[in-house]
Structure 1
Amino acid sequence: MGVFYSAGRDPIFYAHHGNIDRMWYLWKNNFGGQDITDTDWLDSSFLFYDEKQRLVRVTVRDSLDTALLGYDYQSVDIPWIAPTYKPTPRFPAKTKPQVSSAELSTKFPATLDSTISVEVARPEEVRNRSDAEKAKQEEVLVIRGIEFPANVLVKFDVYVNDDASSPSGPDKSEFVGSFVHVRHRNDHIIKTKLTLGITQLLEDLRAAKEGSVVVTLVPRNGEGKITIGGLSIELSSCKSDC
């Protein structure tokens, strides 16, 4: 999957991209999502051989409506689509951080070779915002300076105010999200960051007024190969990022 030259020969490739298309379909049909309207993109074309081995040109706009392509997606129960569905907090005994907010600048960059809990300070301006202000700017947890070799499978999970010795699952509010990288053939170093929205999560955890939170990083793959540059909490404009 991570080697573009031969990814199309991997049986999971079809299922993976089929599900990406399905999620786009659900977004459009359940959440009011809209296809891109830029004509340069819509008129972009690709050459394929059809079932009769004839070379045909297909544009992007030809592929946007699954009904016109002759297929639909099976209707199955998807709990997270319901407006009333949301993760629930478990309110465990919060882990004492291994790294305090005052130590962040001296303890990071750090190698993620085992579970680590870090206290991250919240800026003063994020703690007393009105609902209108929250609608305009999302509070985000930024994990920056993530570095790892491209040829290594990497995954780590992120939790806020959770029990590091027994972290929760995705159905709990303490679980924020995951960082995942599918390994590539090349061994160059990838440098990136992870940004996770936490405004509603902190409301659910009754932590919206707290001066700091405890962030726990749990490596699942690639332990010892991942470097974390630092963590911070910032505000991000919902116009472009939310």
Structure 2
Amino acid sequence: MLEGNRVSRISVRGFAVVSATAVTAVGSVVGVASGSVAQNNNDAEATAADTTLLADIPAGEQAQVQTASLTQQADAQAIAADASAKKDAEAAARKAAAETAVAKKAAAEQAAKAAKERVEAKAAASRDSARSSSSFPVQSSYTAAQIQAMARQMVAGGQFQCFSNIVDHESSWNYQAVNASSGAYGLFQALPAGKYASAGADWQTNPATQIKWGLNYMNSRYGSPCEAWSFWQANHWY
């Protein structure tokens, strides 16, 4: 039973525990709610004393003490969890920012490299196409193999396969091919056929003149034969 102004001290993780007649702040944890085991004789004695005091408190107040202890533990765990989550989030944000920066740098370098290659390819193609069609022997007719040999001498090595793919689809290397419905003509199925004249007056009889015109067309419109071929694949015309 409680007497007069007697103060019952109960140690519950530093909580202020309200007894029947007074409030006393206690600073150490004695395991009322957690069931901790005392580490030395003094702790054991303190635990026994406190247990006796708790036994003297009405059941309603003991429940309040236990609830307060559990609430404190839950709050402490929540604070620790929030701090850990914040730390993890900051670390993840730093990592993501670093990865994004690396990816952007790589993309920029790749774009710069591609642009440089396009410029070099266009310059090389322009140099090769500058060869005059008159430098090839004039013949009354030409086989597909002969026309391809001309093209190999006029188109940059890295661009030739793309160039060849277009000619394969357009005329199968027939410099006199005519589209019956549209009138498109020659290796590149130019329409109107007279467009070839910008490369030389002998465009009807000299495949090299048509090759020169076709290469100039691909370079000026698309940047290179390979870019022209990419467009052709997507659209089936160029």
TM-score w.r.t. structure 1 length?
0.16
Task: Mark the structure with the bigger radius of gyration.
Answer: 2
Task: Looking at secondary structure, tell me which structure has more strand per residue.
Answer: 1
- TM-score normalised to the size of structure 2? 0.16
- Structure (1 or 2) with the greater helix fraction: 2
Q: Greater RCO between the two (CA within 8 Å, min separation 6)?
A: 1
